[in-house]
């Protein structure tokens, strides 16, 4: 249970910082930039980056309430963000600048200035509810570092309550691919209501 306690502590105590241990919890949800069958890998068209978000008690908004994802190991991924944005920055629409659209805002700067109220155009065909009203931030993760250091990159795999079967399937595939046991990379459930209320949102499901 030590892993989930550490993750919840980072969520509860996170603040504006460039240090991933201090900032909160770095997440990457399964999304369209992934390698379809292996969501922990980037796709060929976006081999340089993975999109993510940093959440903490002050800013608990995730990219999706329906998609499982991966919690990055802060020791392994320290200093491996290309840029950060207070809102969805359409990283899929920028093939030449790691999804940053010419911006190089630091994580600390972004977290210091993030505020609520973005309109739902960023949802791109999904509901505002699923995207938490589009109040999530977006960071671009260096996928070369992420990929080269797998499986240590992934501290845990998580799913929101409505995606348990999908989350379990991804967890099984990840463990099998790297010859791991569940104790090496636990599976967690994410409670977005608890997160919104400032409570510890992650609960360990496996092992």
Q: How many CA atoms lie within 13 A of 153 on its CB side?
A: 23
- Give the pLDDT confidence score for residue 93 in this predicted structure: 64
Rounded to two decimals, the pTM is 0.91
pLDDT reported for residue 37:
81
3-state DSSP assignment of residue 205: strand
Domain positions in the chain:
2-206
Among candidate residues 135, 119, 5, 6, the one with its CA nearest the CA of residue 59: 135
Q: Write phi, then psi, for 71 (nearest 5 degrees).
A: -100, 120
pLDDT tens per residue across all 207 residues of the chain = 789 999 999 999 999 999 999 999 999 999 877 777 899 999 877 789 899 999 999 999 999 999 999 999 999 999 999 999 888 877 666 667 787 876 678 999 999 987 655 555 554 555 677 777 778 899 999 999 999 999 999 999 999 987 799 999 999 999 999 999 999 999 999 999 999 999 999 999 999
Nearest to 116 by CA among 65, 67, 61: 61
For the stretch 99-131, what's the b/e string if a residue is b when 16 or more beta carbons lie within 10 angstroms of its beta carbon? bbeeeebebbebbeebeeebeeebbeeeeeebb
Q: How, if at all, do strands 25-29 and 69-72 pair?
A: antiparallel
Q: Sheet of 138-142: strands edge to edge? A: 81-85, 138-142, 49-55, 25-29, 69-72, 154-160, 187-190, 202-206
* Residue 3: CA count within 13 A, CB half-sphere: 21
Nearest-angstrom CA–CA distance, 200 and 165: 22
Residue found under tokens 């081999």: 47
Cα–Cα distance between 197 and 192 in angstroms, integer?
Answer: 9
Contact indicator for 4, 206 with CB cutoff of 8 Å: no
H or E segment at 129? none
Q: How buried is 75 (Cβ within 10 angstroms: 0-12 exposed, 13-18 middle, 19+ buried)?
A: exposed
């Amino acid at each position: 249970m030590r892993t989930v306690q550490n993750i919840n502590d980072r969520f509860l105590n996170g603040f504006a910082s460039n240090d991933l241990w201090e900032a909160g919890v770095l997440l990457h949800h399964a999304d369209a930039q992934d390698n379809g069958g292996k969501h922990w890998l980037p796709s060929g068209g976006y081999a340089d980056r993975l999109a993510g978000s940093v959440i903490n008690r002050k800013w608990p908004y995730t990219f999706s309430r329906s998609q499982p994802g991966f919690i990055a190991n802060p020791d392994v991924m320290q200093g491996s963000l290309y840029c950060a944005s207070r809102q969805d920055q359409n990283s899929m629409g920028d093939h030449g600048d790691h999804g940053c659209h010419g911006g190089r805002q630091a994580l600390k700067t972004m977290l210091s200035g993030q505020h609520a109220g973005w309109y739902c155009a960023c949802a791109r065909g999904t509901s505002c509810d699923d995207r938490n009203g589009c109040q999530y931030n977006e960071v671009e993760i260096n996928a070369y570092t992420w990929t080269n250091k797998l499986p240590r990159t992934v501290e845990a795999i998580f799913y929101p309550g409505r995606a348990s079967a999908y989350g379990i399937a991804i967890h099984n595939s990840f463990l099998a691919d790297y010859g791991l046991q569940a104790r090496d990379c636990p599976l967690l459930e994410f409670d977005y209501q608890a997160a919104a209320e400032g409570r510890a949102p992650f609960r360990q499901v496996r092992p």
